[in-house]
Structure 1
Amino acid sequence: MSAALAAGVAPFEGDRAESIEMIRDSARGLLGTDMARVRALRFQEPGFDPALLRAMGEAGWIGLSVPEAAGGTGLGLGEGVALAEEVGRACAPEPVVALMLSAHLLAAAGEATVLPQLLAGEAVVLTAWQDRAHTLSPATSAEGARRFVPMAAGATHILWPVAEGGRVALHQLTRDQVEITTEQTQDGGHYGTVRPLPFAGHGPGTHIADDVGAALAEGLDRAALLTAASLLGGMEAAFTMTLDYLRTRQQFGKIIGTFQALQHKAADAKIQVALTRASVEQAAAALDDGLSGDAACALVSRAKARASEAGMAVQQACVQLHGGIGYTDQYDVGLHLRRTMVLAPAYGGANLHRRRFMELAPETEDEAA
C-alpha cells in the first residue's frame, strides 16, 4: 500500500460522532426492523414504497450531501455512510443511493425545477449512465440503450449523461419519453434497460448541462462508497442474527456455538466485517477531510472491492452456519444474501475496483517489502 494510504485517518470524534449517531438512530426509527415489509414488496413493480420514499426525502436523506444552497442538507460522507449502512441493515428496497447520485448531478448542473421534487421524495429521478457491465465510464451514445438502472419501473424522470468530445453532456427525460423494460434481480427487485423514444435535435429530452463529467465521476465514486456501506450494514445484520442462532441452537445436547469448527468460521466472518468497516470509514473520513484525485479514488476502490468480496463471503458463511434453515426463503438471513448478490457488482464489483486501486496506488518495491 502507498505511504499516503498507509498513513491512516483519524476516526470521527466529538460533535461529528454525535451527529453521525443521530443519523443512525433516525434511520433505524424510520426503517424499522420488520422484514415483512421487504418481503411484501418483492417481485412486483415499482418494488418500493413511495410513501416511505417521501418520508426519506422529508428526513433529508436524498439531499444529505447536496449543498444547502441547492436545497440539501450539506452533510459529509461520514453521515452518508452511516445512513447507507442502516439502509443495508434493513434490506430496504428504496433506491436511496441511486437517488442521491441523481441529486448530486442535478445540483452540479444547477437544475432548480426537478431537484426540489427529488429532494422531497416526490420525484423518482434515476441516472441511466451505464451501457454495459463492468465499467465506471459513462455511455457515449445518445440513442443507445442504458442498462442496470435500479428500480427503474418507479422512475418519474431519467437523467441521461452522454460522453463525447472530452465532455459529458446531461439530458433529462420524463417517463413518457423513454421505454423501460425490467428484469428481476435475485433479491426481488429489478434492473431496468432504458431506451429513449425517437427524438429530433441534438439529444434526447431536455439538455440541462454541457459538461458534468467531473460531477458524474465524483458521484459514481460516492455511490460506490455508499454501496459498500450498505453491504457492510447487511453483513453486520446477518452476522448478528447468526451469533444469536449459534448461542441458542442446540444439537446433540450442546449449544452449537461451542463447536470449534463453527467458532472458527464465525471468527473469520467477524474479521471480514471489521476490515470492511475500517476500509469504508477510512475512505469516508479521508474524502470529508478534503482528499481528492487518484488517492481518493484509490480509497473508494479499496473499500468497494473489500465490501463486495467480503459481503459475499460473510453472507455465505452466515447461511451455512444456520444450517438448513438458512437456505429457506422465510428466514431473514437469506434476504441479506440475496441483497448482497445485487449490491456486490453495483457501481463496480470487486475485480474492477481492485484493478483500479492497483492502477491508482500501486505498491513500490520498498513498500511491498
Structure 2
Amino acid sequence: MNFTLLAEQQMLQDSVRRFVTKACGFEARAAQIKQGQHACARNWAAFADNGWLAAALPEAYGGLGGSVLDNVLIGFELGRGLVIDPFAGQAVLAAQTLAASATDAQKETLLPHLADGTLRIALAYSEPEARGNPAVVRTRATPQAGGYALRGHKTLVLGAPGAQRLLVSACVDGVGNAPGSIALFLVDPGSARLTQRALPLHDGSWAADITLDGVQVGADARIGYGGDSLPALRQGLAHAIAVQCAELVGAMEAAIDITSDYLKVRKQFGVPIGSFQALQHRMADMAAEMELARSMLFALLAAFEARDAGDAAALQLSASAAKAFVCRAAKKVCGEAIQLHGGIGMTEECVIGHYFKRAIVADLVFGSSDQHETVCADALQRVLI
C-alpha cells in the first residue's frame, strides 16, 4: 500500500489536530465529562462543520466520498487528544453499517443528515451472550400487520445517549438461519416498551443498555432490501475497528511524548531521571510496541484495499488480528507510561492515567482482544489442519 498521504489527507489530519489542541484540552475534557451524558457529543456540530462526519460517506448522499483512511486519520488525532465524543460509535460504526445495508431511498433520506450532523444514530448489535460477535443475535423481530414487534436486550450500545435513532439487529421470526434471518431496524429511542439505561464508561465516554419488550415498528423501519444484514454489520465493525486502532495508536504516541517530556524534567539524585539507562530502555520498548501496533493498523488498511479489489475474505481476519494486537499493545504502553510517572501517574489530575483508561475501555468494545485472538487462532488451526 502507499504510505504517503495525499495533500488533502494531510490537510484533514492537520485540521483535526489543530481543533483537538484548541478545543479539547485536558481541562475542557474534564469539564465535558463532569457535565455527564448530555455533553458527551458537545463537539458534534464542529465535527459536522469541518466535514469529518461526511469524510467516508458517498458523495451521492451528502458525503465527501473518502475512504476508511480518512476516518482513520480523524480517529488518530481524536485518540491523541482523548476526545470522548462518540465518533467511532456513531459516525463510523452506525454510519458505515447503514451505508452498507440501506436501500437507495433510505440512503437518500438518512445519510445526508448523518453527514451534516443533524441526525445521530447508534448501532445496537451487541448482546450479553454475543460478547461483540454480530452473528450471535437473540433479539427477535416478529412480523405482524403493518410491521414488526421487537423483543430483546442489547448491551454496550456506544453513543446511544443522545442519539435520535437506534439501528437494532434482530432475527426475523419464521426465517430461521436462512439468509435474511438477521435484519436491521431503525427504532426511535423514545418508543413505547423500549427502556434505555445510560452507562458511563471508565474513559469518560457513554454507552447504554437497551431493552425491547415488544417495541412496535412499521415495515418501513426495516433497513435494506430484505437480505441478510450480517455482511453489512461485519463491514461496519471492520471499519470501526480500524478507527479504534488508529485512536489507540494516537493515544500511545501521545502517552510516549508526554512521558518523554516528564522524564526530562523529573529529577532524582540531582539529575533528570530520563538519563537513567534502565528508563531509556523501557521507553525504547514502548516505542517499539507502538510501531508494531501501527504496522498492524497498516495491515488492516491494506486488507480494506484488497477487499475493494475483490478479496473480501481476509478483511474480517485482519480486523480481528489488528484489534487483538493493538488493544494489548495500548494497555501495555499506557500502563508503562503510568509507572514511569510514578505515584502522580495514578492521580485523576494527571493526564497520563486517562490514556490507560481509554485503552481499557477500547479493549472491551467491538469484542475483546481475547475473543478476537480466538478468531485468529481458529483460522490458523483450520489452515494447519
TM-score, structure 2 as length reference: 0.85
Range with bigger deviation, 342-351 or 285-294: 285-294
Residues 156-235 of structure 1: pairs in structure 2 closer than 5 A: 156-164=164-172, 165=175, 166-167=179-180, 168-177=182-191, 178-196=194-212, 198-200=214-216, 206-209=221-224, 210-211=226-227, 212-235=229-252
One-letter code aligned to 1:176 = G
Residues 1-369 of structure 1: pairs in structure 2 closer than 5 A: 10-13=1-4, 16-32=5-21, 34-43=25-34, 44-50=36-42, 52-99=43-90, 100-108=92-100, 109-110=102-103, 111=106, 112-132=108-128, 134-138=131-135, 139-141=137-139, 142-164=150-172, 165=175, 166-167=179-180, 168-177=182-191, 178-196=194-212, 198-200=214-216, 206-209=221-224, 210-211=226-227, 212-289=229-306, 290=308, 292-361=311-380
Shift of 1:64: 2.1
One-letter code aligned to 2:151 = E
Indicate conservation of the 8 Å contact 1:224/1:300, yes or no. yes
One-letter code aligned to 1:161 = S
One-letter code aligned to 2:13 = R
| Structure 2: distance between partners of 1:199 and 1:147 | 17
**Structure 1 spans left out of the alignment, 5+ residues:** 1-9
| Structure 2: distance between partners of 1:334 and 1:234 | 11
Cα distance change of structure 1 residues 163 and 17 upon mapping to structure 2, 3 Å threshold: farther
User: Percent of aligned pairs with the same residue?
Assistant: 28
Deviations 1:203-241 (A, max 9, x none): 8x9223323222111111111121111111111111110
TM-score, structure 1 as length reference: 0.89
| Structure 2: distance between partners of 1:95 and 1:49 | 7
Cα distance change of structure 1 residues 239 and 149 upon mapping to structure 2, 3 Å threshold: same
Deviations 1:66-85 (A, max 9, x none): 22122222212222211111
Cα distance change of structure 1 residues 362 and 83 upon mapping to structure 2, 3 Å threshold: farther
| Structure 2: distance between partners of 1:114 and 1:305 | 33
Shift of 1:282: 2.3
Shift of 1:92: 0.8
One-letter code aligned to 1:24 = Q
One-letter code aligned to 1:160 = V
Shift of 1:42: 1.4
One-letter code aligned to 1:349 = S
Range with bigger deviation, 315-324 or 77-86: 77-86
Aligned length: 353
One-letter code aligned to 2:223 = I
Kindly report the root-mean-square deviation, in angstroms, between the aligned alpha carbons of the 2 structures. 2.3
Shift of 1:255: 1.1
One-letter code aligned to 1:104 = Q
Deviations 1:292-336 (A, max 9, x none): 333222222221111110010011000010111111111111121
Indicate conservation of the 8 Å contact 2:122/2:163, yes or no. yes
Deviations 1:177-210 (A, max 9, x none): 132102222122332001235434788x922332
One-letter code aligned to 1:128 = A
Indicate conservation of the 8 Å contact 2:198/2:208, yes or no. yes
Q: Give the 3-state SS of the residue equivalent to 1:136 in structure 2.
A: coil
Shift of 1:88: 0.8
| Structure 1: distance between partners of 2:287 and 2:382 | 27
| Structure 2: distance between partners of 1:200 and 1:283 | 39
Q: Give the 3-state SS of the residue equivalent to 1:39 in structure 2.
A: helix
Q: Give the 3-state SS of the residue equivalent to 1:283 in structure 2.
A: helix
| Structure 2: distance between partners of 1:78 and 1:202 | 36
Counterpart in the other structure of 2:146: none
Deviations 1:247-288 (A, max 9, x none): 221111111011122122211111110000111022113313
Shift of 1:362: 5.2
Indicate conservation of the 8 Å contact 1:182/1:190, yes or no. yes
Cα distance change of structure 1 residues 162 and 98 upon mapping to structure 2, 3 Å threshold: same
Deviations 1:37-91 (A, max 9, x none): 21112151134244x2022123222232222122222212222211111111111
One-letter code aligned to 2:271 = K
One-letter code aligned to 1:173 = V
Shift of 1:113: 2.4
Considering Cα pairs closer than 8 Å and 6+ residues apart, tell me whether 1 or 2 has the greater RCO: 1
One-letter code aligned to 1:127 = L
Cα distance change of structure 1 residues 258 and 47 upon mapping to structure 2, 3 Å threshold: same
